[in-house]
Amino acid sequence: MGQDSIYKQRGVKDLILDEAKNYQETVEIFLKTAELYNFKLIETPIFEKEILFKRPLGDDSDIVTKEMYTFEDKGGDKITLRPEGTAPVVRSVIENRLYEKLPLKLCYFGPMFRYERPQKGRYRQFHQFGAEIFSEKSPFQDVEGILMAHDFIKSLSINPESFKLHINSLGNEDDRKRYTSLLKQYFSDYFDELSEISRLRFHKNPLRILDSKEPEDIKLIENVPSILDTMCQESKDYFAAVISMLEQNGINYEIDKCLVRGLDYYTETIFEFKSTELGSQSTFLAGGRYDNLVKLLGGPELSGFGWAAGYERVALISKIEGKKNKLIAVISDSAKDAFNAAKFLREEGFCAEVFIGESFKNLLKKSLKISPDFAVFIGENERKTNTVQLKNLTTKEQIETKLEEIKNNT
């Protein structure tokens, strides 16, 4: 397409027809699950000040270094289209003093924006479902958060054989610092064998080397020391408590010592749900605990636990079959009768569309374009006898009945 084309930008897509319906149903399932866990919905603006994301996510994170949609608005403010939901939720919690009543459980859904190379399961505008719990720091809340994620996944009819919880801990901030220098020591012996990107990360944020998918790094990563062995006793106990409760709840998990998240704000428990049906973009839901984010953004000392799932990846593996109301084409030579019948049928829970005109044969043909389940005909005879002709468009059977009886005949 040329410069002047009005067609969409790279990496975005129109949610249309079945896909739009599927999104709507996923939203409903998400909200239902969240409600059962007593989460309240929050909707933050799609754009925020750039500084809200810059510091918390980390100057070395992929999002901040290359993925943010940032621009100057007409007033000269630096604005960023939100790349993730946690920082805006935390901002709102602080700004509206929502932390005065704990535990506070908030959920959100909506579009996020990241300037990435578009590929399967990776877009520049995508949708996330997310949940955040603010409370006294406790492994019970980590487990609640993970159980809620698991229930959401189950409700989406994702094949239970195809996904697994991968979990790890980063310990507290000191543990993380200590482990980072340990990693630096470890990788310094192999510096020349590291990939180019990992050599950069070695200086800026060695933890992120563990995230590398480069073949030359993978064999080195296999033998790294585990943070689970080096972190303080308190963090060890915390993690053990989370794991044991997950077991009690029958959650299938794998401890992954190389799991680190791309964002700087995580501490203690981190996790990802991965699918074997998604190829290289295998993580479809991810999150963890953040002890310092609220404080960092100017709020009180308050720990949080949260996760986010990407809709576009979930849509590739979920097998939800939405409830569909039966669709009835109401065909009549009288607008009055057609509208009346449609009104009645809609009140009964049917989906109805009117086709008004003289030739029922033509109208029926026209109506087939919208694939109705049934057609209802109201003509001169039916008007006289206060009946309708009801045609089942699957079996082609036609009967005479009354509007009030349609429910029993469909």
Binders of ligand ATP: how many residues, by CB under 6 A?
19
The minimum distance between CB 61 and ligand ATP, in angstroms, equals: 9
- For position 85 contacting ligand ATP by CB under 6 A, the verdict is no
The 3 state secondary structure assigned to the chain is CCCCCCCCCCCCCCCCHHHHHHHHHHHHHHHHHHHHCCCEECCCCCEEECHHHHHHHCCCCHHHHHHCEEEECCCCCEEEECCCCHHHHHHHHHHCCHHHCCCEEEEEEEEEECCCCCECCECCEEEEEEEEEEECCCHHHHHHHHHHHHHHHHHCCCCHHHEEEEEEECCCHHHHHHHHHHHHHHHHCCHHHCCHHHHHHHHHCHHHHHHCCCHHHHHHHCCCCCHHHHCCHHHHHHHHHHHHHHHHCCCCEEECCCCCCCCCCCEEEEEEEEECCCCCCCEEEEEEEECCHHHHCCCCCCEEEEEEEEHHHHHHHCCCCCCCCCEEEEEECCHHHHHHHHHHHHHCCCEEEEEECCCHHHHHHHHHHHCCCEEEEECHHHHHHCCEEEEECCCCCEEEECHHHHHHHC
- For position 214 contacting ligand ATP by CB under 6 A, the verdict is no
Pick between residue 130 and residue 171 the one whose CB is nearest to ligand ATP.
130
Pick between residue 54 and residue 313 the one whose CB is nearest to ligand ATP.
313
Give the one residue of 284, 290, 350, 374 binding ligand ATP; rule: CB under 6 A.
Answer: 284
Which residue in the shown chain puts its C-beta closest to ligand ATP? 310
The minimum distance between CB 384 and ligand ATP, in angstroms, equals: 59
Instruction: Report the alpha-carbon distance of residue 261 to residue 263 in Å, rounded.
Output: 6
The minimum distance between CB 116 and ligand ATP, in angstroms, equals: 5
Instruction: Report the alpha-carbon distance of residue 256 to residue 352 in Å, rounded.
Output: 53
The minimum distance between CB 232 and ligand ATP, in angstroms, equals: 26
Instruction: Report the alpha-carbon distance of residue 146 to residue 37 in Å, rounded.
Output: 11
Which of these segments, 229-237, 238-246, 283-291, 295-303, binds ligand ATP (CB under 6 A)?
Answer: 283-291
- For position 198 contacting ligand ATP by CB under 6 A, the verdict is no
- Binders of ligand ATP in range 291-350 (CB under 6 A): 308-310, 312-313
Pick between residue 115 and residue 190 the one whose CB is nearest to ligand ATP.
115
- For position 146 contacting ligand ATP by CB under 6 A, the verdict is no
- For position 69 contacting ligand ATP by CB under 6 A, the verdict is no
- Binders of ligand ATP in range 88-127 (CB under 6 A): 114, 116, 121-123, 126
Pick between residue 108 and residue 126 the one whose CB is nearest to ligand ATP.
126
- For position 61 contacting ligand ATP by CB under 6 A, the verdict is no
Which of these segments, 48-56, 284-292, 332-340, 390-398, binds ligand ATP (CB under 6 A)?
Answer: 284-292
- For position 170 contacting ligand ATP by CB under 6 A, the verdict is no
The minimum distance between CB 92 and ligand ATP, in angstroms, equals: 19
Instruction: Report the alpha-carbon distance of residue 198 to residue 388 in Å, rounded.
Output: 73
Q: What is the CA radius of gyration of the chain?
A: 27
The minimum distance between CB 1 and ligand ATP, in angstroms, equals: 22
Closest CA to 332 of 383, 372, 373, 369: 383
The minimum distance between CB 53 and ligand ATP, in angstroms, equals: 12
Give the one residue of 128, 212, 292, 318 binding ligand ATP; rule: CB under 6 A.
Answer: 128
The binding track of 246-275 with respect to ligand ATP, each residue x by CB under 6 A or -, is: ----------------x-------------
- For position 39 contacting ligand ATP by CB under 6 A, the verdict is no
Give the one residue of 283, 303, 318, 332 binding ligand ATP; rule: CB under 6 A.
Answer: 283
With tokens 């349609």, the residue in question is 406
Residues that bind ligand ATP (CB under 6 A): 84, 114, 116, 121-123, 126, 128, 262, 281, 283-286, 308-310, 312-313
